[in-house]
Amino acid sequence: MTQTHWIGGCQCGAVRYELLEKPTGAHICHCRMCQKAFGNFFAALVGLPRDKFRLTRGEISNFRSSAEVQRGFCKDCGTPLTFDDLGEDRISVSIGSLDQHSEFMPQNQYGLESREPWFDQITVIPAYDSGEGAEGVTAYAQRLAGFAATNRQHPDHDTKDWPPKKS
């Protein structure tokens, strides 16, 4: 079956959106504006025509980072959601907010002038599964089950009611 729309949203689930066509141009941007907006080493974005973007729950809050660009986020949990260049007819969404995020491997990088000097090393530093560390399974692992039981993150699919009604 051909997929006709893609969906996503913020961590707490107050904001959900859908894309009426597959977004394109997946990239990361290392410029300091994107770094700071995302509190990270880069922003990861993928875009589509603005008229193919639709909110299905809640509202996006915006910070106008310069005259023609607004950056959208959820005011309830902070998740960075959009990059909206008001001079263009396209809007970008943050790849991490897409339910099918892994389908959007970036093809290009921008903002090279402020790329972190150790960026090319981030995949070779020691890596552990959740609940593990250099010493093997950590004490923290025992608490993960508890976290899962009280997880308030919206799942990676649309929901009819959110937060779930208490039974």
Partner 1 sequence: MSKTWTGGCQCGAVRYEFSEKPGDTCLCHCRMCQKQFGNFFGSFAGADKDKFRVTRGAFSHFKSSDGAERYFCKDCGTPLGMRNLSKEFIFVSIGSLDRHGEFRPENQYGAEAREPWLVEIIGSPCSVTGGYPGDDAARLQMIKNTNLQHPDHDTEKWPPR
Site for partner 1 in 109-138 (CB under 8 A): 109-123, 125-130, 132-134
Residue 108 contacts partner 1 per CB under 8 A: yes
SS3 66: strand
Minimum Å distance from CB 126 to partner 1? 5
β-pairing, 108-110 vs 24-29, is parallel
Distance from C-alpha of 91 to C-alpha of 73, rounded to nearest angstrom: 13
Size of the site for partner 1 (CB under 8 A): 85
Write down the residue that tokens 């809640």 correspond to: 58
Q: Which of 7, 33, 55, 141 binds partner 1 (CB under 8 A)?
A: 33
Q: What are phi and psi of 87, to 5 degrees?
A: -90, 0
SS3 151: coil
Cα distances (Å, whole numbers) of residue 110 to 36, 37, 46, 57, 142:
15, 15, 13, 31, 41
52 or 114, CB closer to partner 1? Answer: 114
Minimum Å distance from CB 54 to partner 1? 18
- CB contact at 8 A, 78 and 88: no
Contact mark string toward partner 1, 56..95, x via CB under 8 A: -----x-xxxxxxx-xxxxxxxxxxx-----xx-----xx
Residue 32 contacts partner 1 per CB under 8 A: yes
Count of Cβ atoms closer than 10 Å to residue 167 Cβ: 3
57 or 101, CB closer to partner 1? Answer: 101
39 or 161, CB closer to partner 1? Answer: 39
Minimum Å distance from CB 58 to partner 1? 14
Residue 97 contacts partner 1 per CB under 8 A: yes
